[in-house]
Amino acid sequence: MQERVKKVLNILCERYPILAGQAEAIAKAFALVCDSFKTGGRLYLCGNGGSAADCEHIAGELLKSFKKARPLPAAYADKLKADGVDGETLCAYLESGLPTISLCGHTAFATAYMNDKNPDFVFAQQVNVWGQAGDVLLALSTSGNSKNCIYAAKVAKAKDMHVVFLGGGTGGKLREIADVSILAPETETFKVQELHLPIYHCLCSMLEEEFF
């Protein structure tokens, strides 16, 4: 891990001493996601309620600039600029990102699937279709016992994906499945979620430092 990436993690632990015990797990999660992106993989996100909102939040931080500028690769920018004015305009507004997909959206699919099949498998079906070996699934569940996240994690493992779990308390069933578990040291849902935000902001910042 590069020094500037370590610095981001150290700052998290300084600002939130309660999370210092999770530094090793955060570093391992970073390494899994980093390796996946470097080999052409994708990051998938799933969660319910507030955790679903967190999934959208994480995707937003990774698909566009978070704290740093993310210029387009020069060769790609040159191809765009060859189109003239529109190409120049595209280069002025587009920026690089990291391939991240929240499984909590896709309303037409999700409502159809939950109505026709079973809501517990709505994330698993998407992992089943999109997931590839080497991809990473980041499952957010404050209890670690959300059925739809558990099923998604099991499908991910069967597809030779890595599973990172962001939870709380003792981790529940997802802790038994995940390759890496980051557990906020709280048990009440809202308190766990309050600590999830600085954790995933830290991960997003670490990834941005690594790639941009």
- Look at residue 150 and tell me whether its pLDDT is greater than 90: yes
Q: What's the rounded mean pLDDT across residues 127-155?
A: 98
How many other CB atoms sit within 10 Å of the CB of residue 10? Answer: 14
Q: What's the rounded mean pLDDT across residues 156-178?
A: 97
Q: How confident is the model at residue 1 (pLDDT cuts 50, 70, 90)?
A: confident
Q: What's the rounded mean pLDDT across residues 146-154?
A: 98
Calculate Rg over the CA atoms of the chain.
18
Q: Which of 134, 141, 179, 182 is nearest to 160 (CA)?
A: 134
Taking the C-alpha atoms of residue 38 and residue 148, their distance in angstroms, rounded to an integer, is: 28
Q: What's the rounded mean pLDDT across residues 133-137?
A: 98
Domains and CATH numbers, the chain: 3-68+98-211 (3.40.50.10490)
166 neighbors 45 (Cβ within 8 angstroms) = no
